Structure 1
């Protein structure tokens, strides 16, 4: 494991209980996020290709009950063992495993969709192509990817200091154009993109992107 990945994992091991305390009911306060997730759920089910979805970078597992309540079968993965421990403790009805976004544990074309809720923001530019290729690999033709991200200028930022827990790690606030370009370069096609403006001068806008994995056309 490279040093930056180890730093990210160690930091989120420390942050796991704080995330569980502060983010468990976050969706209740974010109607735009619920709307995007709901659209993903409706389209994934309408694809008629099963109900299995990957919650990639699941953290403490807070999205699992929401996805399950809408008819999907979530399987969460996260880089942090402590995040997974908390997810299993707090949401024991669902499956959670430790995994790296760049090497997912799912079989090829085994999921009707993947949810990347603020998890792609940790990818350095050099890692994005491989990670997005992994997401494309595990989604069935006709399935979907949905992501939420912090919209910015794509410069690396140091985060974690505000927690006062002695941790720091890198993250990237990508522009919506960069995020969409990476997803489409991996082979997906854009279905929907949008955002919510920043609510404070030092806060980023929120970005949302929903994409589809095309069904291969039969040769003529």
Structure 2
């Protein structure tokens, strides 16, 4: 999930709703998503490309999995030669990640206030985590991602493709939760990342599987050395 908003009860009802819902979803994700990456050669191929680009850039192999959820990507990212760590807004997601993936570091963090120094990361992964950002929060959040990625470094993201409208997620789980989610168009995602200071290296899409409710989009972008647009 996304660490999109400021953590802490009482400051932002939407933040509380998103975080609390994903605290509930942690066990659900373990049940439903364990083995999902292994069963998806397309997802693995995008992560393989990202890993190859990060390694080829020669800036190091440390990558942050922003919105890491249960930490399910970390073993594969390590397998393809990267050194991943994860952050997530949900304390329960982080607790489960630490339990199930003890060889990696996980922290509770807000996407808009990442615990990394300027230009400190060769790569960032945002796997189905940026789609929780409301339109008015996206520029600041994407600028924060650009802040921590070194010029020449890379970011990979996957998300649900759609028409940019808000939806209520979580309703079909039967867990009594709901939260806002945006199924974004490819131009919206690409434009936002470009304005933040990235350039597109690769984009792709795939249709929804029988178990999914929407097609998926993928982008791999490279951090430029130019000043982001205001």
Q: TM-score, normalised by structure 2?
A: 0.91
- 1:163-186, CA deviations, whole angstroms, 9 ceiling, x for partnerless residues? 111100000000001000000010
Distance in 2 separating the partners of 1:198 and 1:163: 18
Match of 2:82 among 41, 51, 72: 72
Q: Secondary structure at the match of 1:189?
A: strand
Q: 5+ unaligned residues in a row in structure 1: which ranges?
A: none
Q: 5+ unaligned residues in a row in structure 2: which ranges?
A: 1-10
Name the structure 1 match of 2:201.
Answer: 191
Distance in 2 separating the partners of 1:134 and 1:142: 16
Name the structure 1 match of 2:116.
Answer: 106
1:215, distance to aligned residue in structure 2 (A): 4.1
1:1-220 alignment, distance < 5 Å = 1-199=11-209, 203-215=213-225
Q: Secondary structure at the match of 2:131?
A: helix
1:31, distance to aligned residue in structure 2 (A): 1.1
Distance in 2 separating the partners of 1:64 and 1:198: 24
Q: Secondary structure at the match of 2:38?
A: helix
**What is the RMSD of the two structures over their aligned residues, measured on CA atoms?**
1.3
Distance in 2 separating the partners of 1:143 and 1:171: 28
